[in-house]
């Protein structure tokens, strides 16, 4: 019962700011609404028993990516807080496509046979993830460092052309 | 474990209430005289000119960018740091490789001048 | 039930923080600054000026809240609360010491240190938003500078934290302190219960942590964002009265929190001869706070590019080197 209540509160905390992000005319307000959304997702991770991922979610998403997005917005035109027009001439085709996508996704979700047995939670999240990284998924671990290197180089190449 | 995070949630809520409490007290106690001069933007005593937003340095953005990438790397190192002793020398070598690859990234950023301020 | 206990504990912790960090901390700061500068600090209010901060708080409580024109009002109000609450939440994982049969700490979260870092990064958001919401060029610039400085020093902070984590094999602060029991030689700054040569990364990690902590909390020599001679008051130029006090509360709570964490991770937490554990913990925490305040009046302020260079070209490579060396020594 308490879990259902927590789930509902956290979902509201995730979804309502998400709607604000998409519909707000004030770009900075939209970026700021990302933060409660991220915190809601953190709570959802905790409900699923993924502690380490919840901690990372706050640290990286709310602490690093939100800062990056806010920096970008405040350094550009949007930083003045002026309202930007949110709707354009393609409203009707947009609604049709969005509606079709929604129907498609709902049908997909309802028709999939989701496995309903819960797995067993490891005693310590962090050690389990660490062990998995360093033994079974070592290739993914090393390749992720390569991915980070590539994104660093790519981002610097793009950003510095404007400098 | 759930209990720990319940505490975090309660702390966040009660903490917000307690932080807002002094603000409420001020709202009750403090005078409120609304003069337009008081609400002017502060610029060391002179009348402010221009709008508050100006073209700021793009450098701030570059630092935030590099920060995100290195923070993600640090995140990868956390599980390794907790468990590497039990997994022997192999785990250590793997992490050396990881850190060296990203060290190359830092070196690249350094040499390309992304870490310079001016 | 549990929620009630949690509410009581947060009120207790908040009161402790408000009294010890805000009131005592500000008083200590003014007294110590005074002595270093060959003058007496506050003396008149209460015996030896001890009630000075209470008087200041009462004064601030009846100062008018001025919201600047064109400021973004909701953000303007939320920013100080965010900073204060994040500073408060960071204290959840600090173990004080054994008393009444158990270790006094709010909650021994499994991922304790990760949680602390997460709260420290939330403070950056609060500061950035506060600077932007003021609709003031100087505040915005101060907010940017402060945010850049804080994010640049989060990496060395996390890397310095990595050394005790590697020595202890856990992210839980209580387990890290318990691993340092036995004798002073077992403190992690001296290499923990391992060979002597682990003291080298231990001491260096401690130094890096203290430097990064000073930068994270915007204290001199890293207080360019608040530089009184340059930017008025930086990101909180437009904040009056109690909102300003909330920002300060958050910053002092974080400064004390970093000292407390350093005492826990490197100096053995509550371990020590003769005196009860909690007393030792408080002694160590206050010793480090004194160190921070001492540094404030000893070093000149670093310029922004010097500050960023120190972090990215100095402390970050040093941090990675520390991690590699500690790993090599421990395997």
Instruction: From C62, C86, C111, give the residue that closes a domain.
Output: C62
Of all residues in chain C, the percent with pLDDT exceeding 90 is 15
All residues at 6 or more sequence positions from C109 whose CB lies less than 8 Å from its CB, including other chains: A51, B4, B5, B8, C92, C93, C115, C172
Residue B44 has pLDDT above 70, yes or no: no
Tell me the C-alpha distance between A25 and B53, whole Å: 18
Q: Does residue C277 lie within any of the structural domains? A: yes
Q: What is the mean pLDDT of residues C237-252?
A: 79
**Residues C155, C96 within the same domain:** yes
Interval A46-71: pLDDT, tens: 988 888 999 999 999 998 999 999 88
Q: What is the pLDDT of residue A8?
A: 93
Answer with the residue of higher pLDDT: A11 or C8. A11
Q: What is the pLDDT of residue A126?
A: 85
Residue B53 has pLDDT above 70, yes or no: no
Q: What is the pLDDT of residue A42?
A: 93
How many CB atoms are located within 10 Å of the residue C23 CB?
Answer: 20
Residue C109 has pLDDT above 90, yes or no: no
All residues at 6 or more sequence positions from A129 whose CB lies less than 8 Å from its CB, including other chains: A52, B79
How many CB atoms are located within 10 Å of the residue C227 CB?
Answer: 16
Residue B50 has pLDDT above 60, yes or no: no
Q: Does residue B55 lie within any of the structural domains? A: yes
Structure tokens at C25: 């901390």
Tell me the C-alpha distance between C288 and C282, whole Å: 10
Residue A73 has pLDDT above 80, yes or no: yes
> What is the domain count for chain C?
2
Tell me the C-alpha distance between C237 and C132, whole Å: 11
Distance from CA of C271 to the nearest CA of A (A): 26
Return the minimum-mean-pLDDT range out of A154-158, B76-80, C20-24, C116-120: C20-24
User: Please, which chains are in contact with C (at least 3 CB pairs closer than 8 A)?
Assistant: A, B
User: Which of the four pLDDT bands, split at 50, 70 and 90, describes residue C48?
Assistant: confident
Answer with the residue of higher pLDDT: C267 or A76. C267
The minimal CB distance from C155 to the residues B32, B71, B81 is found for B71
Contacts of B67 in chain A (CB under 8 A): 64, 67-68
Cα B2 → chain centroid:
27
All residues at 6 or more sequence positions from C245 whose CB lies less than 8 Å from its CB, including other chains: B22, C22, C57, C60
Return the minimum-mean-pLDDT range out of B9-13, B31-35, C322-326: B31-35
Answer with the residue of higher pLDDT: A68 or C101. A68
Instruction: From C39, C62, C85, give the residue that closes a domain.
Output: C62
Range of the domain at B23: 2-111
How many CB atoms are located within 10 Å of the residue C64 CB?
Answer: 14
Tell me the C-alpha distance between B52 and C191, whole Å: 52
| 3-state SS assignment for residue C62 | coil
**H/E element holding C102?**
strand C102-104
Q: Does residue C68 lie within any of the structural domains? A: no
Structure tokens at A94: 């947009």
Instruction: From C62, C96, C114, give the residue that closes a domain.
Output: C62
**Residues C212, C278 within the same domain:** yes
How close are the terminal C-alpha atoms of chain A, in Å? Answer: 55
Q: Does residue B118 lie within any of the structural domains? A: no
Residue B37's CATH number:
1.20.58.1610
**H/E element holding C257?**
helix C241-266
Answer with the residue of higher pLDDT: C160 or B39. C160
| Residue C138 near residue C302 (C-beta atoms within 8 A) | no
| 3-state SS assignment for residue C76 | helix
**Residues C91, C198 within the same domain:** yes
| Residue C146 near residue C131 (C-beta atoms within 8 A) | yes
Residue A100 has pLDDT above 80, yes or no: yes
The minimal CB distance from A133 to the residues B80, B102, B114 is found for B80
Tell me the C-alpha distance between C29 and C7, whole Å: 31
Contacts of B83 in chain C (CB under 8 A): 169
Q: Does residue B100 lie within any of the structural domains? A: yes
The minimal CB distance from C128 to the residues A52, A54, A70 is found for A70
Tell me the C-alpha distance between C261 and C93, whole Å: 9
Q: What is the pLDDT of residue C258?
A: 92
Contacts of B53 in chain A (CB under 8 A): 74, 79-80
Q: Does residue B116 lie within any of the structural domains? A: no
The minimal CB distance from C75 to the residues A32, A51, A58 is found for A32
Tell me the C-alpha distance between B102 and B104, whole Å: 5
**Residues C287, C308 within the same domain:** yes
| Residue A88 near residue B61 (C-beta atoms within 8 A) | no
| Residue A75 near residue A95 (C-beta atoms within 8 A) | no
Q: Does residue C204 lie within any of the structural domains? A: yes
Q: Which of residues 30-49 of C touch B (CB under 8 A)?
A: none
| Residue A33 near residue A49 (C-beta atoms within 8 A) | no
Tell me the C-alpha distance between A28 and C131, whole Å: 13
Answer with the residue of higher pLDDT: C138 or C245. C245
Q: What is the pLDDT of residue B38?
A: 66
User: Which of the four pLDDT bands, split at 50, 70 and 90, describes residue C115?
Assistant: very high
**Residues C89, C238 within the same domain:** yes
Q: What is the pLDDT of residue C317?
A: 92
Dihedral pair phi/psi, residue C187, rounded to 5°: -65, 150
**Residues C46, C187 within the same domain:** no
**Residues C173, C106 within the same domain:** yes
Q: What is the pLDDT of residue B118?
A: 52
**Per-residue exposure over B44-69, b if at least 16 CB sit within 10 Å of its own CB, e if not:** eeeebeeebbeebeebbbbbbbbbbb
Distance from CA of B4 to the nearest CA of A (A): 10
Return the minimum-mean-pLDDT range out of A116-120, C28-32, C144-148: A116-120
User: Which of the four pLDDT bands, split at 50, 70 and 90, describes residue B46?
Assistant: low
Q: Taking Cα atoms as reference points, which of A7, A55, A16, A62 lies closest to residue A35?
A: A62
Task: Decide if C59 touches B, using CB distance below 8 A.
Answer: no
**Residues C27, C165 within the same domain:** no
pTM: 0.90
Q: What is the pLDDT of residue C174?
A: 86
Distance from CA of B89 to the nearest CA of A (A): 11
Contacts of C132 in chain A (CB under 8 A): 28, 70, 74, 79
Q: What is the mean pLDDT of residues C248-277?
A: 85
Q: Does residue C316 lie within any of the structural domains? A: yes
Q: Which of residues 92-121 of C touch B (CB under 8 A)?
A: 92, 106-110, 114-115
> What is the domain count for chain B?
1
According to DSSP H, which parts of chain A are helical? 2-23, 27-47, 51-56, 66-75, 91-111, 125-131, 138-161
Residue B29 has pLDDT above 80, yes or no: no
Interval A130-151: pLDDT, tens: 888 888 888 988 899 999 999 9
User: Which of the four pLDDT bands, split at 50, 70 and 90, describes residue C228?
Assistant: low
Contacts of C251 in chain B (CB under 8 A): none
Range of the domain at C186: 75-330
Instruction: State the average pLDDT for chain C.
Output: 83
Contacts 24+ apart (CB under 8 A), B42-50: B42/C68, B42/C136, B42/C138, B42/C232, B42/C237, B42/C238, B43/C136, B43/C137, B43/C138, B44/C232, B48/C136, B48/C137, B50/C137
Q: Does residue B117 lie within any of the structural domains? A: no
**Residues C110, C210 within the same domain:** yes
**Residues C22, C158 within the same domain:** no
Q: What is the mean pLDDT of residues C120-127?
A: 90
Contacts of C311 in chain B (CB under 8 A): none
Instruction: State the average pLDDT for chain A.
Output: 86
Task: Decide if C151 touches A, using CB distance below 8 A.
Answer: yes
**Residues C83, C169 within the same domain:** yes
Residue B23 has pLDDT above 90, yes or no: no
Structure tokens at C140: 């915005």
**Residues C85, C214 within the same domain:** yes
Bridge partner residues of C49 (DSSP): none
Q: Taking Cα atoms as reference points, which of C107, C110, C103 lies closest to residue C93?
A: C107
User: Which of the four pLDDT bands, split at 50, 70 and 90, describes residue C168?
Assistant: confident
Radius of gyration of chain C, Cα coordinates, nearest whole angstrom: 20
Q: What is the pLDDT of residue A19?
A: 92
């Amino acid at each position: 019962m308490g879990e259902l209540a927590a789930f509902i509160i956290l979902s509201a905390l995730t979804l309502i700011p998400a709607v604000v992000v998409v519909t707000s005319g004030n770009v900075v307000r939209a970026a700021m609404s990302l933060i409660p959304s991220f915190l809601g997702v953190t709570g959802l991770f905790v409900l699923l028993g993924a502690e380490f991922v919840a901690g990372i979610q706050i640290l990286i998403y709310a602490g690093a990516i939100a800062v990056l997005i806010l920096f970008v917005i405040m350094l550009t035109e949007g930083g003045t807080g002026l309202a930007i027009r949110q709707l354009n001439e393609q409203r009707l085709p947009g609604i049709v496509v969005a509606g079709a996508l929604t129907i498609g996704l709902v049908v997909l979700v309802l028709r999939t046979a989701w496995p309903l047995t819960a797995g067993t939670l490891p005693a310590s999240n962090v050690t389990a993830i660490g062990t998995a990284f360093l033994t079974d998924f070592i290739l993914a671990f090393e390749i992720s460092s390569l991915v980070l290197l590539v994104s660093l180089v790519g981002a610097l190449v793009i950003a510095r052309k404007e400098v | 474990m759930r209990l720990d995070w319940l505490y975090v949630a309660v702390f966040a809520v009660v903490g917000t209430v307690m932080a807002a409490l002094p603000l409420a007290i001020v709202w009750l106690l403090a005078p409120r005289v609304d003069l337009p001069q008081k609400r002017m933007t502060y610029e060391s005593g002179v009348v402010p000119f221009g709008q508050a937003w100006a073209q700021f340095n793009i450098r701030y953005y570059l630092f935030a960018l590099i920060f995100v990438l290195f923070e993600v790397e640090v995140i990868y190192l956390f599980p390794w740091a907790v468990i590497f002793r039990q997994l022997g020398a192999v785990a250590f070598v793997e992490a050396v490789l990881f850190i060296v690859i990203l060290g190359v990234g830092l070196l690249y950023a350094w040499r390309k001048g992304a870490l310079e301020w001016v | 039930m549990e929620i009630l206990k949690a509410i009581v504990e947060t009120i207790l912790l908040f009161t402790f923080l408000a009294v010890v960090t805000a009131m005592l901390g500000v008083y200590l700061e003014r007294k110590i600054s005074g002595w270093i500068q060959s003058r007496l600090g506050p003396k008149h209010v209460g015996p030896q000026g001890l009630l000075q901060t209470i008087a200041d708080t009462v004064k601030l409580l009846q100062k008018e809240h001025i919201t600047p024109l064109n400021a973004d009002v909701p953000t303007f109000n939320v920013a100080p609360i965010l900073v204060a609450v994040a500073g408060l939440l960071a204290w959840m994982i600090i173990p004080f010491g054994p008393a009444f049969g158990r270790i006094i700490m709010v909650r021994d979260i499994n991922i304790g240190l990760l949680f602390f870092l997460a709260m420290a990064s939330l403070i950056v958001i609060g500061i950035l938003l506060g600077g932007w919401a003021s609709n003031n060029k100087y505040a915005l610039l101060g907010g940017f500078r402060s945010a850049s400085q804080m994010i640049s020093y989060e990496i060395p902070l996390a890397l310095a934290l990595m050394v005790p984590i590697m020595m202890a094999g856990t992210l839980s602060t209580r387990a890290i302190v318990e691993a340092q029991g036995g004798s002073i030689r077992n403190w992690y700054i001296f290499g923990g219960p391992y060979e002597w040569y682990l003291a080298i990364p231990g001491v260096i990690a401690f130094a890096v942590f203290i430097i990064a902590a000073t930068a994270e909390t915007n204290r001199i020599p890293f207080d360019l964002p608040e530089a009184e001679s340059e930017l008025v008051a930086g990101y909180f130029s437009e904040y009056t009265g109690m909102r300003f006090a909330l920002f300060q509360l958050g910053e002092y709570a974080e400064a004390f929190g970093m000292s407390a964490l350093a005492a826990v991770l490197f100096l053995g937490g509550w371990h020590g001869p003769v005196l009860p554990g909690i007393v030792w913990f408080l002694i160590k925490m206050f010793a480090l706070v004194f160190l921070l305040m001492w540094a404030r009046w000893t070093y000149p302020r670093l310029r922004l590019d010097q500050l960023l260079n120190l972090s990215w070209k100095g402390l970050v490579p040093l941090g990675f080197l520390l991690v590699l060396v500690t790993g090599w020594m421990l395997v």
